[in-house]
Amino acid sequence: MIDLKNTLKNRSDKSLLNSDFSADLDWWLKFMKTFNGRTCILDNKPISSLQCDACSEGGGATFLGDFFYINWTLDMPETIIIVFAIFKWASFLENKRVIIYTDNVTAKSVINKMTSRNPVVMVYIRFLFYMQAVYNFSMFAIHIPGKFNTLADASSRLHEKDKLSLVYDLLPFSQKGLLSVHELLSHVI
């Protein structure tokens, strides 16, 4: 809706409503069917442990000692891994401010602007809008150099030899005694 509005030069200008506008309206109407009219004030202390990374063959994310990995054969934008991470951990983000760390400048920009020229990415962005409305959280992304995104990087490359052991080594100390190889492999989507 906002992208379409931004194409207008004057307040009196008109535009034909397109399929993107319709898709934006659809998620909003879906949300309004379940919204009870109440919302909570967001917690002042942000959640700052959500890290995401992707490569040409997979993607992964980490949050509070948990992680996931997804393998793909398509060149998927890193933004989509962020959407998967929000979906996986949405219940933990309720009524929070969320900082997402990524080593991808484009993903940071897309998340912070909540728009993209890529129509496939926009489908996922609309889903993010919906998740934000349902779970009442705000989010913004911060770029970090790849060398500091080690656990997310390792979790995005589980298709490579020895990356699972690196993920295990990088997990918080309290988690190491609790996870067997079978449990680590259960994080593979």
Question: Model-level pTM?
Answer: 0.72
Largest CA distance in the chain: 65
For residue range 65-109, what is the model confidence (pLDDT) as tens digits? Answer: 788 888 876 666 788 889 999 999 999 998 999 999 999 999 999
What are the tokens at 189? 């989507």
**pLDDT at residue 174 in the model:** 45
For residue range 50-69, what is the model confidence (pLDDT) as tens digits? Answer: 888 888 888 888 888 788 88
* Res. 16 pLDDT band, cuts 50 70 90: confident
Give the residue extent of every domain in the chain: 39-185
For the cut 50, the answer to whether the pLDDT of residue 148 exceeds it is: yes
**39-185: what fold?**
Nucleotidyltransferase; domain 5 (3.30.420)
Q: Which residues contact 82 (CB under 8 A, 6 or more apart)?
A: 52, 61, 100, 102, 107, 111, 141
